[in-house]
Chains A and B, each alone.
Chain A
Amino acid sequence: MALSEKTRAEAREIIARYPQPRSALLPMLHLCQAEEGYVTPDAIALCAEELGLTKAEVAAVATFYTMYKREPVGDYHVGVCTNTLCAVMGGDAIFAALKEHLGVGNDETTDDGKVTLEHIECNAACDFAPVVMVNWEFFDNQTPESARQLVDRLRAGDPPMPTRGATLCTWREAARVLAGFYDGRADEGPSAGPETLVGLKLARERGDSAPAMERGAE
């Protein structure tokens, strides 16, 4: 299915952000995922046309990056971190529990089209291990049981709030933000999780601080 004229116009907006057009390719691929849910042959053709590249050149880029999908993704992409630290802390058990609970394997989608399950690499939240990401929002300190409840709610149309993030949007809506089209939700969610603040809180309790700055210091 050909992509819409709106997407084509927005692709041109993206190109205009950069000193050289080809820099727009990654966000343009995110934008195409926002319309179609994954990177289709038509999406590759659109990027190639707009950037004056061959389809092979665009496909070479699209297949290099794991966030670009070659097949349809459910409304909710559930990523379980199984890199070493999360795996050891329980990520392996969570991933096994979700495979069984959802009846899908890695990179597969439930029959209702709601949830795609994938094991993911380190997502920079190790102090909150084990971590599960839903549409790239943080669900911290998970257990097999909490993860099962999480996916049940996703499938029931009652998505819970991320631990540190905004009200869950769909996979496609998330891709649109990654393409650089802000959705106005930055003010949702907290500044930080408790683990983020543990050192700061301790410093305040102990009266620790950096040395005072002298006035007029240079």
Chain B
Amino acid sequence: MNLTPVLSANWDQERSWTLDAYEAQGGYQAVRKALAMEPDAVIQLVKDSGLRGRGGAGFPTGNKWGFIPQGDGKPHYLVVNADESEPGTCKDMPLLLASPHTLLEGIVISSYAIRANQAFIYVRGEVLHIVRRLQAAVADAYAKGYLGKGVFGTGYDLDVVVHAGAGAYICGEETALLDSLEGYRGQPRLRPPFPAVAGLYASPTVINNVESIASVPAIVAGGADWFRKMGTEKSPGFTIYSLSGHVTRPGQYEAPLGVTLRELLDLAGGVREGHRLKFWTPGGSSTPLLTAEHLDVPLDYEGMQSAGSMLGTKALQIFDETTCVVRAVQRWTEFYAHESCGKCSPCREGTFWMVQIFDRLERGTGTEEDITTLLDVCDNMFGRVFCALGDGATSPVVSSIQYFRDEFVAHFTERGCPFDPTASTLFAAAGARG
């Protein structure tokens, strides 16, 4: 397996976040090429590349753009989803910290393609320095004529606003993000109509993840065939895999889609010394847990689906045998309960009651019936809610019971959690400093 740094290739350059450093590495060349093409040709190129949305759902980016009605007389909008909040997911924030201009170049190309004159970057608020880097990058791009009236000396106008959120996981859901950007509580909308027809201010809107838009300049520069030299037929291209948890060298690994966790773990020095893999998430907590038996399943959209999970955000959270799966899923469930927007009853009530059940399970006062109730609650949530938050909340619960039912049972037969939480900490080896 070959690593394929494209998005990350300039991250170790001196002052990589600045416009000058970005241009010295060949930045803002692809946009000139794109602006000399017809907008429809840019859409076609992205369609041909097979780029699929990197925010989790994997919807083909070019197709999304193609749904925007043209000649409708309404303003069009591009909204970049930089609300990275899915537990375990940590790829977009380092990209924006190190190279905000990669995103800006992608924004100019993408906005031109869908004929939008206004773009928004909706960035989560809890990342102050990343907000600064974006603000500075946008200001520098305006000063250089790369944004604003007649960008790059063409007749095309584009304004970009950096919009900081205020702490709500649900705003990563694209229609909740739009409500939030319009100044409302972030609650998802019923679809149809889809955002491509009636999105921001009821106008045609494309919402794409940071990594999706940041991949566009390389696709324009290299071409669709070049992009397809990496990855698989149905999941082409390079992508950023984020390894975290009980792994020797956690971090960002940019590789072709379709690599396996075994290959990535080899590069990352394996599970931390003296321990073995217990469970992992392929793409954040909303993707069903997998185990050591799935180490050789390709990390692409099809591979993860065949294993009963999802590729999601490629956030590979690694947990070794010291970790209590009940505690882990309890905490995720508390997260979903905290972040449920409250609009749909099955999610609002289901996450609330699952927290109560997990609390007694972890304390050792649960029963066999609690496990049945958890599965029943999940059955009543999945597919019965407006958005993916409710569906996602069921993923760790159902999959953990599927693979570790005995461990749930052990919590009440042993009248308590059989694990020592100290053993799973990073500083356990150093004698639990503290």
Contact = CB atoms under 8 A, between A and B. Distances in A.
Interface of A: 17-20, 22-27, 29-30, 51, 60-61, 64-68, 79, 82-85, 87-90, 92-94, 97, 120-130, 133, 135-138, 141, 143-145, 148, 162, 164-166, 174, 177-180, 182-183, 185-187, 189, 191-203, 206, 208-211, 213-214, 217-218
A20 B201 contact: yes
Given A191-B15, A199-B267, A125 B331 contact: no
Contacts of A179: 164
Contacts of B169: 121
B12 A125 contact: no
Interface in B92-133: 92-94, 97-99, 118, 124-129, 131-133
B222 A61 contact: no
B127 A124 contact: yes
29 contacts: A23-B182, A26-B165, A84-B331, A84-B335, A88-B424, A89-B245, A93-B425, A122-B335, A123-B126, A127-B242, A128-B250, A129-B244, A133-B126, A136-B128, A166-B128, A166-B129, A178-B164, A179-B164, A182-B135, A192-B11, A195-B249, A199-B254, A200-B5, A200-B8, A203-B3, A210-B5, A211-B226, A218-B45, A218-B223
Contact of B252 (A136, A164, A196): A196
Contacts of B432: 93
Interface stretch (B79-87, B142-150, B386-394): B79-87
Contacts of A30: 125, 164, 166
B238 interface: yes
B315 A126 contact: yes
Interface in B1-59: 2-6, 8-9, 11-13, 15-18, 45
Contact of A174 (B118, B128, B255, B327): B128
A186 B136 contact: yes
B331 A83 contact: yes
A68 to B, nearest CB: 6
B215 to A, nearest CB: 12
Contact of B86 (A122, A180, A185, A214): A122
Most buried by A among B85, B99, B243, B331: B331
A22 B426 contact: no
B338 interface: yes
Nearest to A90: B425
Interface residues of B, number: 106
Contacts of B424: 88-89
A65 B406 CA distance: 39
Given A83-B87, A186-B135, A196-B98, A88 B425 contact: yes
B328 interface: yes
Interface in B135-187: 135-137, 139, 161-169, 180-186
A194 B328 CA distance: 27
Contacts of A68: 166-167
A190 to B, nearest CB: 9
Nearest to A64: B185
A29 B183 CA distance: 10
Contact of B222 (A20, A85, A189, A217): A217
A177 B127 CA distance: 11
Contacts of A89: 245-246, 424-426
A93 B422 CA distance: 8
B230 interface: yes
A19 to B, nearest CB: 6
Contacts of B329: 84
B261 to A, nearest CB: 14
A84 B284 CA distance: 11
A183 B252 contact: no
B3 A127 contact: no
B129 A189 contact: yes
Nearest 10 interchain pairs by C-beta: A144-B434, A198-B251, A186-B136, A199-B253, A65-B166, A25-B183, A22-B183, A126-B244, A67-B167, A217-B223
Given A82-B331, A199-B253, A64 B168 contact: yes
Given A88-B328, A136-B127, A198-B252, A203 B182 contact: no
Contacts of A60: 185
A133 to B, nearest CB: 7
Contacts of A189: 129
A88 B168 CA distance: 23
A182 B139 contact: yes
B90 interface: yes
B91 to A, nearest CB: 8
Nearest to A146: B433
Nearest to A134: B128
B74 to A, nearest CB: 12
A200 B243 contact: no
Given A22-B182, A61-B184, A186-B133, 19 more contacts: A22-B183, A26-B183, A27-B163, A64-B168, A84-B332, A121-B339, A126-B88, A126-B89, A126-B90, A138-B129, A148-B434, A166-B128, A177-B131, A183-B132, A185-B132, A192-B98, A195-B252, A208-B3, A213-B223
A93 B184 contact: no
B395 interface: no
A114 B137 CA distance: 32
A65 B85 contact: no
A23 B157 CA distance: 21
Contact of B128 (A93, A135, A214): A135
Nearest to B186: A64
B296 interface: no
